[in-house]
């Protein structure tokens, strides 16, 4: 199979390939030779395993890449269409609503995305897909969920966030609690001046 590197992330490289005629992407966690072996090993293999497990669950709930093949340090998953929302001018209410619905579905199953920003949302017409579950984990903590919402909030404008919030409330029974926690977090001094410069 011919590999073509399409992007270089903070901890993994993304390649494009074809697997049995299906367009796929491979996410390969690079070695971190500057860390002691034990820490490096656990970061690379444990995270790959966790991500694959969460992807297979998430892709049954929302539009997210289905893992096709998992090795020790790499996941080959289906390639989804669409354009990164962060690269479009303006996100738009329908996409924001769809994102709220998607996050509600993930949180209802105890999945925290960990990096839910417009850079990780693909928009294709009126549907959206969520990608990059590299920082995801399972948790039922309201605070963890609130951080997920906070990241999204920082990456969109107020109107889009309101649309997101409405859909999130409708889709998730504990949404009220999460949004209350979010208000608490935003009051903490440490986060008042933080702006997400890179989103």
For another protein, the binding residues (CB under 8 A) are 8-11, 32-39, 42-43, 114-115, 135, 147, 151, 189-190, 193-195, 197-198
- Whether the CB-CB separation of 89 and 153 falls below 8 Å is answered with no
Distance CA 89, CA 45 (A): 37
Question: What is the bridge-based pairing of β-strands 22-29 and 74-78?
Answer: antiparallel
- Whether the CB-CB separation of 95 and 128 falls below 8 Å is answered with yes
Q: Which is nearer to another protein, 4 or 190 (CB)?
A: 190
Nearest alpha carbon to residue 143 among 192, 195, 179: 179
What's the min distance (Å) between Cβ of 73 and another protein? Answer: 16
Rounded to 5°, angle at Cα 105 from 103 and 111: 75
What's the min distance (Å) between Cβ of 26 and another protein? Answer: 19
Catalytic residue list contains 115: yes
What's the min distance (Å) between Cβ of 39 and another protein? Answer: 5
Pick the catalytic residue: 115, 132, 148, 160? 115
Q: Which is nearer to another protein, 49 or 169 (CB)?
A: 49
Q: Which is nearer to another protein, 41 or 78 (CB)?
A: 41
Nearest alpha carbon to residue 135 among 6, 46, 60: 46
Q: Which is nearer to another protein, 21 or 189 (CB)?
A: 189
Q: Name the token pair of 139.
A: 């948790």
What's the min distance (Å) between Cβ of 31 and another protein? Answer: 9
Residues catalogued as catalytic: 115
């Amino acid at each position: 199979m011919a590999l073509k590197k399409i992007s270089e992330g903070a901890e993994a490289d993304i390649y494009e390939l074809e697997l049995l005629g299906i367009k796929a992407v491979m996410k390969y966690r690079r070695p971190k030779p500057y860390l002691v072996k034990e820490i490096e090993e656990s970061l690379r293999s444990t995270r790959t395993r966790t991500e694959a497990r969460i992807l297979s669950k998430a892709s049954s709930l929302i539009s997210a890449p289905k893992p096709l093949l998992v090795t020790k340090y790499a996941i080959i998953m289906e390639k989804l269409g669409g354009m990164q929302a962060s690269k479009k001018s303006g996100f738009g209410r329908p996409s924001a609503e769809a994102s709220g619905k998607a996050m509600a579905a993930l949180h209802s199953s105890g999945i925290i995305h960990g990096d839910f920003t417009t850079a990780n949302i693909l928009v294709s017409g009126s549907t959206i897909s969520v990608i990059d579950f590299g920082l995801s984990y399972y948790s039922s903590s309201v605070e963890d969920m609130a951080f997920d919402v906070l990241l999204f909030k920082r990456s969109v404008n107020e109107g889009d966030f309101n649309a997101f919030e409405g859909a999130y409330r409708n889709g998730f029974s504990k949404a009220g609690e999460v949004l209350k926690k979010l208000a608490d977090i935003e009051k903490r001094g440490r986060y008042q001046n933080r702006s997400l410069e890179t989103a």
